[in-house]
Structures are given as C-alpha cells and as structure tokens.
A = this chain, B = another copy of it.
Amino acid sequence: MTRVRDLSEEQILERIVPLLPRGSATLLGPGDDAAVLAAPDGRFVVSTDVLVEDRHFRTRWSTGYDVGRRAAAQNLADIAAMGARPTALVTSLVVPGDTELDWVTGLAIGLADGCAPVGAGAVGGDLSGGPFLVVSITVHGDLEGRPPVLRSGARPGDVVAHAGVRGWSAAGLALLEAGLVRTPLSTAPLEVTDGVLLEDAWERLVAAYLRPDPPLAAGVSAAQAGATAMLDLSDGLLRDAGRIARASGVRLDLDAGAFAKDRDALHSAARAVAAATGLGDPGWGPGTADIDGLVGRWVWGGGEDHGLLATFPAGTELPAGWTAVGRVQAVGEAGPAVTIGGEAPADQPGWDHFRA
C-alpha cells in the first residue's frame, strides 16, 4: 500500500493531474505558476470553501472520492447561487504523510465527477503535508452577460422557490451517527438495530450527506427566468432564508406544507434513528420528543443540503426543478425575518463552525 510520504510532491501530482478535467474555459492548465481561464464577458465569479477532517467529514464514513465529490459540489453550488455557470476550480490539499495514495487519487476522481455535470475544469492546486486533512477549494464561474443574483434583491410580493433536496443531509448524518447505514470505510460491521434492514431510501439520504448533488443547472435557469435573489442552502433552511430576508429588508413567509415532499423517507429514517438512540438527542438539540419534531428539525434546521433558495417576481413561470414554497412580505419595524405559515418558527439551531 502506497502512502503519500513514500512519494515526492511532484510524484503525487503526476498521479493526480491526469485525473482532473480540463474544462472548456481553461486556457492554461496545471504546471506553471498559475492557470489562465477565460472570462468571456469581462467578469468572473469567485468563491471559496474549506472542508476540515472531523468537522466537515470523517474518514470512517467518507472515502476520498466522497470528500472530493462533496468539496466540488458545495463550492459549485455557491457559483450556481449567483446565477453563474461554474467554469473551473483550484484545490489546496493538506494531507498527513500516512494517508493512502488511493485516498488522494480518489479525491481527485471525486472532484472530477463533481465537476462533470457542468463541464468545469480542475486547473491547479497546492499540496502540503500536515497533521490532518484539509481540502480548500476556490471555484470560478461565468455570468454569461447577466447581472449576478444577489441575496439582497427580494421584493414584497415575490414568490419564494426552492430547488434540490430538503433535510436529506441531516437525516443521512443522523443515520450514520446511529450506526444504521454501512459506509465503505466502516472498520467494523455495523450492528443492524432490531433487525431493520438497509433501505434504498436511507442510502439516498446518507449519499446526500456524503456527496451532495446540488441542482447546479437550476442556478443558471433561475437567473435566466429573472430571479430577484438567490442563495445556496448550506446552514439550514430557516437560517439561510433569514439571510435573504435581512439582506433584502423583507420577510420570507414559507408554506408549512411545502417541504413535506420527502415525508415518507424522512419519517422512516426518523423512526429508525429514534429507536436506535432511544429517542435521545442525535445532535439536534434537546427536546426531540417525537418523530415529527425530528423530521421538522432536519427539514427546517438541517445544514448542508446545498439546495438553492430564490425569489422570483410574482407570476414568473418557475423553471424546471423549482417549487414555490412561500411568499416575500414587507417587514414591519420588528418581527421575525422568516415565518412558517405566518407564524414565527420555534427556535432552530443553525450551523456555526465554532459553536456546533
């Protein structure tokens, strides 16, 4: 088994670089001091996101491939959320010397597969040793002549719409934490609680956590359809909806029933998690006393789904993949930035990297 410390940096790069997609916007790829990318309309969009071992992934659950897919996906989603088409990313990787080379090449393949749906390139990076794994990605996109879709453009009367999954990632994490789904990297066989068998639905939820599949094309189509505001849902639906509300100076009133689409799969997972953990707290705060409550916490408070939330002028025909989930309202002097069916939601935790 080859470990990264057995090879020089240049030897490792020789294994990685051929696995990476060039991308159609790449004028000069890896190998020089910098890459050169096309920016046909004279502007480009840029965003960066970092994944830290044991904060954003655990190697006992995530393969290198999973981490690559996830790192690509959550970065590409930030570009989509501006209404831009992702063009290329660069990667900084910190990797302990005893990491298997296969983990690193798997990460490269995961990056490539994450980029494939939008044809983005992986055009360079940096590699360093270190005591734990860190994957930092910076991603670029092309606005194709359109203005960027900011968080601040929502206006009273707009429709609130959603694309992507809701609550899946939090449910998948809870299933993993409860030991209910086996991952490739589990070192010991997981116990199957009460004889419950793996179900396809659970594996889909876990996959949504390990390697999210954001609705990247929906970002561009929303911009083309005239979206007034948009963001990537990374920290939980209510918390991120609040960001649009505050940036725009409005209130977002969400329909209580709009997110019930996956009720069956989420309830199946919630029942199993509650049984496996004795209805204890699977990481979403105290008071998860019933199944509906647990599902509600996943859907409204769960992070890292990487769907898109946007607002559109009333009467807009929503593009494929988008579902209307609420309305933008004028906000008074006070009151919550986000309501559910006109009511202030119960307090929901949101992800904070220093407090979670």
Chain A contact residues, CB within 8 Å of chain B: 4-5, 7-9, 12, 27-28, 31-50, 52, 54-56, 78-79, 81-82, 84, 88, 90-94, 97, 123-132, 134, 136, 138, 140-141, 143, 148, 150-152, 230-232, 247, 352-355
**A128 contacts which chain B residues (CB < 8 A)?**
50, 52, 55-56, 353
CA–CA, A97 and B355, complex, Å: 9
Across chains A and B, which 7 residue pairs bring their CB atoms closest together, nearest first? A39-B39, A138-B138, A34-B47, A136-B136, A50-B92, A33-B81, A92-B136
The answer on a CB contact under 8 Å between B151 and A32 is: yes
User: Could you list 30 examples of A-B contacts with CB < 8 Å?
Assistant: A5-B355, A7-B354, A8-B352, A32-B148, A32-B151, A32-B152, A33-B78, A33-B231, A34-B45, A34-B82, A34-B84, A34-B148, A36-B43, A36-B143, A38-B42, A38-B43, A46-B88, A46-B90, A46-B123, A46-B124, A46-B140, A48-B124, A48-B125, A50-B94, A50-B136, A52-B129, A90-B138, A127-B353, A130-B134, A131-B132
**A138 contacts which chain B residues (CB < 8 A)?**
46, 48, 90, 92, 138
**A43 contacts which chain B residues (CB < 8 A)?**
27, 36-39
Give the number of times this chain occurs in the complex, counting copies.
2
Given A35-B47, A43-B39, A82-B33, residue A129 in contact with residue B353 (CB < 8 A) = yes
Q: Determine the residue in chain B with the shortest Cβ distance to A46.
A: B35
CB distance from A186 to the nearest CB of B (A): 23
- A50: contacting residue among B40, B79, B126, B131, CB under 8 A: B126
CB distance from A246 to the nearest CB of B (A): 11
**A28 contacts which chain B residues (CB < 8 A)?**
148, 150
CA–CA, A124 and B49, complex, Å: 10
**A150 contacts which chain B residues (CB < 8 A)?**
28, 32
CB distance from A136 to the nearest CB of B (A): 4
**A52 contacts which chain B residues (CB < 8 A)?**
94, 128-130
The answer on a CB contact under 8 Å between A55 and B7 is: no
Q: Determine the residue in chain B with the shortest Cβ distance to A230.
A: B33
